[in-house]
A and B are shown apart, each in its own frame.
Chain A
Amino acid sequence: MDLSDALLVAAARAGRRDAYDELVRRHAASVMAVCCARLGRKGPLEDLVQESFLRGFQALATLADPGSFGAWLRGIATHACIDWLRKKERHVALEGQHDAAAPPGADDERSKAVLDAVESLDEIHREVVTMFYFEKKSYKEMSARLGITPAGVNARLQKARALLREKLQGAAP
């Protein structure tokens, strides 16, 4: 039986480290998706996912609504990304350092072009594409997280796909 996030948070607060481990497994993809949507795939995603879970762990006692752990943690991840971007502005640019490229091959070029196009979308469309294709969320789950109706999710996704088509056709040789 899947325990709810609220129960896992309660157990983690009571000292059950395995409960927090389960929360990590459950939310790692969505935290990475947030970081990816903010920083692009060349950002230090693993570092920021780790930082976000660590911050969450340290601040777990301050979480007011244990049932909203996922949303809370994604907020923490967003802040961690903003902190990183600020730091990056102040210090040396780290372009390319964390580029975890896919294995080489003919498909890589296509995937690279697709992800470049995704990253060039505006934030609301980048967000729905990332949630649907990276996190594999349903319309219902996306609608709950985004605060819009499932029909609104569909419309946003359709628009995002049309924009991607335009960008990829424009980029094609």
Chain B
Amino acid sequence: MTCEHKEKLSALLDGELPTADLAALEEHASSCATCGPSLEALRSQASDLDAAFAPLRARAEAVVPRVLAALPTPAPRPVARPRWPFVVSLLSAAAGFAAAALIFRQAPLPEKRLAPVVATLTAATGALEVNDSDVWRPLASGGSIGEGDWVRTVGVATAAFECKDGSEVRLNAGTECQLASRTVMLRKGEIYTKVAPDPARRFAVTTVSGKIEALGTTLDIAHAEATRLTVVEGKALVGGKTIEEGFTCSISGGIPTNPTRAEKVATVLAWVGELATIHRAEDAEFDRRINQILETIGQTKAEHLRETDIRAMGERCALPLARYLESPRSLENSEARHVAARVLADVAPTLLLADLLRLLEDDDSYVRIESARGLERITGSAHGTTRETWTGAGYREAARSWRADLDDPSSPWCTGGAR
């Protein structure tokens, strides 16, 4: 048996019917052999569901104080911007790289400080906690770490510490470690260290997998189930073996695997860049990091994409391509360099004039010719040069002359010596 009103019963029960319809339908249900029992069944089911979800609703209410207690104070506010906003937008567009620069300036908390201070928090992209007496508590910006204190990053936060000896230790998200004088014990996560030289005492990083001694070095060390060491600069000593700059190895039982050349160091260190953009990063390091990332992007484009696909990105691919062309790594693939130079000549914006001028002195005549073509496109003048200028012996002189003219204060292209 069916009834035309039956379809409306669930809306009635859910309180979703217009008031005018409500009374009429209820009256109908009270006398309808189909709708009456159906409505009762629906009511019973709704009652069961309400009762079943009641404990979960109670859990949802009870969780609020817990969440509020766990949140850092005060709320986050952006305080720093990348120095090169255009670079970041290019990176974001070209590689999905986001340099979100947030920093928490937490209210100073009373500090229990008995142990001598070994490090100070200099930058963070989120909340940090320190444990100096079996209790984790928030660490304020500028807060200090005592000898043997544990520190951990919360959520996706990263942080940088300056040690008393001048070394720098950066913590990636999900990192927990103990800081002491010239020693870091990494329990989990990833750290990046720039070690200040001290002939009297080596800087050591220990994990359950082994001990790494820095020999005046920048290291990246990640530890999850095993430990991975990447030597960014200098050398490191592990289990009696020296790991050279640019090499990476895993460590287990105190013994390193055979080191292999670290591929894509810039990618490994992508997390370090975010910190570099917000605080205390020396200009040279920031520039080096940006250039490494741009080179990698440029290399990916030039070596792995079709020329038409690169061109389709337009101006956004210009900076990575320029950095790639100026990097030693590109010298191994002249075909890709030619593609990069050709596209760059067509899409480079005005802000890359300095890069094009430098490329006029490239060792490869094809790159010189294309760079001159790019300069001519932007400035509207070939500056009296021809294709032969760039294949002949006098190209350096021609390049210097072109640069001097563009740098002349009367030139509309003069940037006041910025290049």
Q: A-side interface residues toward B, CB under 8 Å?
A: 12-17, 19-21, 24-25, 28-29, 32-33, 36, 41, 45-46, 49-51, 53-55, 57-62, 100-102, 107, 110-112, 114-115, 118, 129-130, 132-134, 138-139, 150, 154, 157-158, 161, 164-165
Contacts and interface: CB of A to CB of B under 8 A. Distances in A.
A133 B53 contact: yes
Interface string B1-16: 0000001001100111
Q: List the 8 closest pairs (A to B, CB-CB), nearest first.
A: A114-B52, A111-B52, A29-B60, A102-B55, A32-B60, A133-B49, A58-B126, A134-B53
A12 B70 CA distance: 16
Contact of A111 (B42, B55, B63): B55
A16 B78 CA distance: 13
Given A13-B77, A21-B68, A134 B157 contact: no
B51 A111 contact: yes
Contact of B64 (A25, A57, A110, A138): A25
A13 B59 CA distance: 28
A132 B100 CA distance: 37
A112 B78 CA distance: 46
Contacts of A165: 41, 45
Contact of A150 (B16, B46, B157): B16
A110 B67 contact: no
B50 A158 contact: no
B70 A54 contact: yes
A50 B154 contact: no
A152 to B, nearest CB: 12
B60 A28 contact: yes
Given A28-B61, A32-B63, A129-B49, A15 B10 contact: no
Nearest to A54: B155
A45 B75 contact: no
Interface of B: 7, 10-11, 14-16, 41-42, 45-46, 48-57, 59-64, 66-68, 70-78, 98, 100, 102, 125-127, 154-157
A173 B52 CA distance: 19
A110 B77 CA distance: 48
18 contacts: A12-B75, A14-B75, A14-B77, A17-B75, A28-B64, A32-B56, A49-B67, A50-B67, A58-B127, A58-B156, A58-B157, A61-B102, A111-B48, A111-B51, A111-B55, A115-B52, A118-B49, A158-B7
A3 to B, nearest CB: 15
Contacts of A118: 49, 52
A47 B14 CA distance: 32
Contacts of B72: 57
B14 A50 contact: no
Contacts, number: 145
A172 to B, nearest CB: 12
A136 B154 CA distance: 33
Given A29-B60, A50-B70, 8 more contacts: A24-B67, A28-B67, A54-B154, A55-B156, A100-B55, A107-B51, A111-B51, A134-B57
A26 to B, nearest CB: 10
A114 B54 CA distance: 12
A150 B11 CA distance: 10
B10 A13 contact: no
Contacts of A112: 52
B56 A134 contact: yes
A58 B127 CA distance: 8
B14 A154 contact: yes
Contacts of B48: 110-111, 114
A62 B77 CA distance: 11
Contact of A15 (B7, B50, B77, B154): B77
Contacts of B50: 133
A59 B126 CA distance: 9
A110 B45 contact: no
A138 B17 CA distance: 12
B352 to A, nearest CB: 29
A46 B157 CA distance: 21
A100 to B, nearest CB: 6
A163 B125 CA distance: 48
A59 to B, nearest CB: 8
A111 to B, nearest CB: 4
* B15, B53, B126 pick with most chain A CB within 10 angstroms: B53
B93 to A, nearest CB: 16
B51 A110 contact: yes
B14 A157 contact: yes
B279 to A, nearest CB: 16
